[in-house]
Structure 1
Amino acid sequence: MFFIIVLFSFLYMGAAYVLKRRKQLRQWPLHRCIFWILGVSCAIFAVDGPLAEQAHTDFNCHMTAHLLLGMLAPLLIALSVPMTLLLRTVKISFARRLTQVMKIKIVHLFFHPVVAAILNIGGLWLLYTTNLYSVMHTNMVWYVVIHMHIFIAGYLFTVSMIYMDPVSCRYPFAYRAIVLVLASAGHGILSKYIYANPPAGVVAAQAKTGGMLMYYGGDAIELIMIFIFCLQWFRATRPKAFASVRRETSL
């Protein structure tokens, strides 16, 4: 586990170092490197190590891993803007081809706010209201597939709500705000459903504490996302006023 964290961190830091060597480009911010390391660490800790082992028998540990893998890790990695770093590091010809791939309709569809929300929240409803949860802990293939889906869907949803990396199509803030509110409501309702209706193989006591952890822990992470979203909206709609305030505070 530690080796994987070091490997991914080294790859990201290596790309940042390449930018530093190119004097014509601005140095890559340190805080983005920190976001990357924290995000990768959250994802790895969720699927490997003591927490992942206990998650097979303890629903509270499972829910903690869910929050790390499906919400916190995607948010932190999105804040590290990995696609921007990649596009600045590789050759211009490859960057252009990669940009063209991002514009393909089927690829673009996955970054649509509604589609990303359905994949994210809908996948969780399917996991906890069917026998998939119990199957996941007895079948390694399903275990890997479901955890990959949780992370990828969480990341797609995050980057479809807050635009940190370059995107081929920017949806209006009001449109994304509606989707964000509905998705947040869907996540909250699911946590209450789990509280009252334990998934297959989960005892009632753990379902209650796990549901509460999902509800309040999810809200805490969503509040961070909402703050970033509102800040981006404010900067986009009142750029002159924000710039003047920033100049005054810097004096």
Structure 2
Amino acid sequence: MTVAHGGHAPATALLPLVPVALALVAYLAAALREQRHGPRGWSAWRTAGFSAGAVLLMVALSPPVAAFAHEDFRGHMLQHLLLGMYAPLGLVLGAPVTLALRATSGRGGHRLGRLLNRPLVHALTHPVTALALNAGGLYVLYATPLYRATTTSPPLHELVHLHFLVSGCVFAWVVAGPDPAPRRPSVPFRLAVLGVAVAAHATLAQLRGGAELMYYGGDLAEILLALALMAAWRPRRAAAGPARTA
């Protein structure tokens, strides 16, 4: 078997899959419990979305893909798209926060709600901040010596992977996630932020040689994110006109 990264033994390369598999099992157990006993049930589409995201994440972290990413820049771009765009979209569309709020006790749900309302969370989950973390992280990686450094430092390599995943999940969540988000701006504003993200990814793909996968794969992921946002959009009806005077 090919090792996943320079110096990684096969057994070690499989370790990142364990927490993903455990998270998927926990989600499926909570979804099944909610479906059987919850007053409102649980959407099969949300379960499918989270499951697809978890599977894509495990594919991205699997030894064959990790080895391809280490040996070929095209493999690196494939892994980046799975980690930072496609897997987060599926995970977020699964509404894991909503499921956790339903599955936990009253005190646990209250604590989670208080966490979401903290000022720091408000700042980090604003679409502009999420865009800066997501697209800005790409520019830092590819426009500086950081990418070359990740090829020789496994800890740095894994840290970049974590950033891709977290920033991708935050961006998908604040743009189109069904979970509650603190002080989420209007849909037109979020569509504008998504448009900036598309332009940022396209510009970087042109600047970085061999990044065709980023250009085309990134566009498809962002189209899917836009469709998810539009599918959940419920425009407010115009306010009723002034009442007629007698």
Q: How high is the TM-score relative to the length of structure 1? A: 0.84
1:31-72: CA deviation from partner (whole Å, max 9, x where unpaired): 222211211121122123201111111111110111100000
1:178-197 to 2 correspondences below 5 Å: 178-195=192-209
Matched, 1:225 2:225: yes
Contact 2:198/2:222, CA 8 A, preserved across alignment: yes
In structure 1, what is the equivalent of residue 30 of structure 2? 15
1:79 aligned residue (56, 77, 93):
93
Give the counterpart of 1:138 among 152, 157, 161: 152
Q: Distance in 2 between matches of 1:20 and 1:157?
A: 28
Distance 1:47 1:126 in 2: 22
For 2:42 and 2:109, the matched residues in 1 are separated by: 18
Q: Residues 21 and 229 of structure 1: is their aligned pair in 2 closer, same or farther, counting only changes over 3 Å?
A: closer
Aligned-residue offset at 1:5: 5.0
Report the alpha carbon displacement of residue 169 of structure 1 after superposing the two structures with TM.
Answer: 1.1
1:102-121 alignment to 2 at 5 Å? 102-121=116-135
Matches of 1:4 and 1:53, distance apart in 2: 20
Q: C-alpha separation between the residues in 2 aligned to 1:31 and 1:183?
A: 26
Q: Deviations over 1:116-148 (max 9, x none)?
A: 000000000100111111111211221111110
Structure 2 residue 42 is the aligned partner of structure 1 residue 28: yes
Equivalent residue, structure 2, for 1:45: 59
Is the partner of 1:236 in helix, strand or coil? Answer: coil
Gaps of 5+ in 1: 196-206, 240-251
SS of 1:171's equivalent in the other structure is coil
* AA at the equivalent of 2:223: L
Structure 1 CA distance for aligned equivalents of residues 194 and 20 of structure 2: 30
Unpaired runs of 5+ residues, structure 2, are: 1-13, 239-246
Match of 1:199 in 2: none
The CA RMSD measured in Å over matched residues stands at: 1.7
Q: 1:151 aligns with which of 137, 140, 165?
A: 165
CA contact (8 A) 1:5 1:37 kept: no
Among 39, 57, 80, the alignment partner of 2:71 is 57
Paired position in structure 1 for 2:10: none
Contact 1:19 1:28 in 2 (8 A): yes
Greater mean deviation of Cα atoms: 164-173 or 120-129? 164-173
**Aligned residues, how many?**
223
Report the counterpart of residue 165 of structure 1 in structure 2: 179
Give the superposition deviation at 1:214. 0.8
The letter of the residue matching 1:236 is P
The residue aligned with 2:191 is: 177
SS in structure 1 of the partner of residue 232 of structure 2:
helix
C-alpha contact (below 8 Å) 2:194/2:222 kept by paired residues = no
- Over the matched positions of the two proteins, sequence identity in percent amounts to 35
Q: Which has the higher helix share?
A: 1
Say yes or no: does 1:97 pair with 2:111. yes
Contact 1:82/1:165 (8 A) holds in 2: yes
CA positional deviation for 1:77: 0.5
Q: Distance in 1 between matches of 2:41 and 2:163?
A: 34
